[in-house]
Every structure is written in C-alpha cells, then in structure tokens.
Chain A
Amino acid sequence: MKSYLYLLLPILLLSSWQSVAEEPSVSIEVIDPFVELHTGPGEGYPVFYTVEQGERVTILKRRPDWYEITSEYGQTGWAKAAQIARTLLPTGEPVDLPSVSYGDYLEGSFFAGFNTGRFSKGELDSAEVITFNAGYRWNSWLSLEFERSKFYDAEVRGRYYGGVVRFEPYSEWKFSPSITVGSGSLKISSQPELIPLDIDESSYLSLGVGLSIYVGRNFLVKAEFRDFKIDTDLDSERSDQWQLGFNAFF
C-alpha cells in the first residue's frame, strides 16, 4: 500500500501542475444581436460564422484589436475587440469599460519606440537625429523614459543618452499635450576637420513641449520641440530640436 502511494504521488503532482498551468480563458455572454467570426485577426479576413445573441462564448487569446473565441457549438474564430467589449461576464458586468481614458488605461505599462528629427539652432544646427527610447508609464500623467540617440551632420557625428521625465496632465484627450525634462551625456565622435566644435563630451539638460496623439489603445504618435542646454568647457551651448516619434505600450 505504501509503495503504491509513493508511485501515485508524482502522477498526482504532475496532473495538478498541468491543471494550474492551463492557459487562462474567459467565458462571456453575447449581448450584441450577433458577433461575426473572422478567420484571422483583421478586417480583411473573411467572415465564416456568426454567433447569436445570448450565446455563451469562451475567449482564448488576444491580439491587437481582436479576440479569438470559441462558440458554444465549437466554432473557433476571431471577433473584433469592440464587439467583445459590449459582452457580459457571468456576473452580468460588461467585460471592458470603454470609457477608461488613455492615460488610465496605460498606467503601469512599459513602452518602447523611436523618434526622428533634427537640431535647428547652435553648433549642431541641421544635424539629423535618431532616438531609441524605452520607459515606464508610472501613472496616467507621469512617465519615465531612457533615450539613446545618434546625430549626423555633414561633418559632425555624435551621440547622446539620458533620462526624460514626461508630464502629461490631460491624458484623457486624444490629442494630449506634455512637458518633458531631460538630462544626460552628449559626445561628439567625429569633429569637423578644420574648426572643431566647442562641444566634445558634455552633459546636457533639456526642456520640451510635446503633443501625444493616441492612435490606438496602446499606440501613440508624438511631436516634440526640445530646447537643449549643453555644458561646454567655457560656457554653455544652446540648441533646439524638433522630433516626430512613435511609441508602443505593452
């Protein structure tokens, strides 16, 4: 009896572990007159089945703007997220509250993206800039980001990296203004041959204003103007920068 139980132990543990590791799924009730099932997660993929009002469906996976669902009768396909948001949980509550603002929705999420633009004043005038950035949205109105940039002029090459704090007080708006404060280190890797710039390896401080445009729930386009104050050996150098950027949240 004893040895038999010992044999049983790993099997029981394994089976219970498997049931825990099962992927989460959500069961809901359709309240729209009908929900169309597409073969793939996109408007362009054909509709092959229609789920009727009152039917219970199980949600399996999520992709941007789409959910994969299985109907009561075992048909599996993709339904638009907007339709699923209007369905009901077993408790009778709506699945998603569509009135949540952009900023609140993104609270506590990570983001990454890129900007591109150019300097428009000072010694770095007309240098083109590429920036990779990644960060964390602390709450609806505050985010912290790390940026790493390279800039290119006819004779000048360089890079800078640093941190940016972004304040976005009206994040419930689709077109949402923001203020940024940034600081970091800037280095010129290739100087002009004849007259080198004052700037070589310096720290900088930047102040900026921007406009974020929320294109989707987790995607935004932003336009930004920043004023750079770059410390040089003698005094400080000012430069302006215009940028256009894209960020994805996850």
Chain B
Amino acid sequence: MWDARHLTYELARADLVRHTSRLRLGILWWFLDPLVLALIYWGLVDQLLGRGESIHPRYWLFLFLGLIVWKQFAQCLSGCSGVYNRRQGLIKNLAVPLVTLPGAVVLQTFHLFVQAILVVIVFLGISGGVSLGWIQLLGLLGIQFITMFGIGLMVAAPMARQPDLRELVPHFLKVLFYLSPVLYSFDFLQAKLEGSEYLGWLNVYILVHPVGDLIDAYRHVLLDDGVLSLNGWVILVARSALYFSAGCFLQDRFQRHLLEGIR
C-alpha cells in the first residue's frame, strides 16, 4: 500500500480533475459545494423552520457536520463497491496494484471532505474565534481516513463479482442514514433511552457504527469547543484499526479470486 501511494494520489488527482473539468467554475466547486449546502441548511432549518434547538443550539451547523461526514462515508462505500468493475480496462492491461483503485476513491472523497471542513472552520473562526481544541481535528481526520480506507477495502474486492449485492448498496445506505447520528446525536438517543432495556443494545450499536462516533466527535470539537476523553480516543482508534485490518484481510482474501476472473 505504501509503495503504491504515489499512484494512488495520481489516480485520485485524475478523478478530481476529470470531475472539475466539466464545470465552468472548476475547482472553486470544492468550496462552493459545501458552502451552498451550509447556506441551504442555515436558511431552511435555522431561519425558516427554526428547528432542532432541542438537539443543539446551532442545529443547522450540527446537521451540516453530520451530513459531510456521512456524505464521505456513502461516497466511499458506493464508489469502492464497484471500483474494480469500472476500472476493468486498467486492470486487464496494466500491472496496476489493485489496492490503488479503492485507495484513490477514498482519497478523492476525503479531499472533498477536507474542503467542507475548511468551510466550517473558516465560518466558525470568523463568527466566534479560533479554538486551540481544534488541533484535535488532525487526529480525527487521520482516524477518519484510515476507517474509510478500511471500509473501502472491505467492499471493493468482495463485491466486485457480486452485481446483485452492489444493487443493494444504495438501499443499505438509505436505511443506515436514518440509523446514524446525522439528524440527531447518539447522546440524544442515549438520553431518550435512559433506564430502558434497549440502552445496552444501543451502546453496542454505537460501538460498531463506522462513523457515528466520528460525527459526534467533530461536533463536540467544533461546535462545543470540547476536548475528547481518552476513552473516546481509544475507541475511535481501535475501531479504525479494526475496520482497516478487516479491509486488508478481505482484500487479500478476495484479490486472487478477483484476478482469476477479471484479467
């Protein structure tokens, strides 16, 4: 993976250039896209509907942060699940290290996520000043990248020969969206289920959810100026390591099988 990092970068770069080359405003859209999304949520949720204050005082930003993390996860999962099929031409004719292809998808979506986070940081910096606690974002970004890379590898090779399974990905994402802390937070759910027999199940679900804790961590750092607990960091790091290891295992396990058919 490390040896193929330059090629991964080149493929991700080509994908980004390919996307922006069709647009008149080009790379400006990297910033405009999250900015437009943020404006929509601010106008619609905060100004027009005045919703969500029971969940968070700045609910539109809360929602926006949840959505950008979710968007990267969803793009990563759907992009990686069909990446070997889309890139058959390359795989059949060139000795491309297979891991670079899902790697490029992850890198590309991660790049767009970073632009969106920068928009939030600039907005928060202008409206309320800079916080030293934001340094934690570096750790969160690293954890997110490793988690997404793991998830990308988990789906890329096993799903390459399963077109029916790939059809289910958008439906799976729709269901998972409502079961993820995008519109609400896990804290909000835990408070609602306090004393209930389902609280234990909820805690297990939170523990395995790929991005739930990450979404809440970004919100805690950026919106509440909070400091993540050591326990929280350990869980985030352990989960990303787990997803990454599972991804490497599945990639290795299915790669040979995949090549026997694809090339």
A pairs with B: no
Q: Which residues of B contact A (CB under 8 A)?
A: none
Q: Which residues of A contact B (CB under 8 A)?
A: none
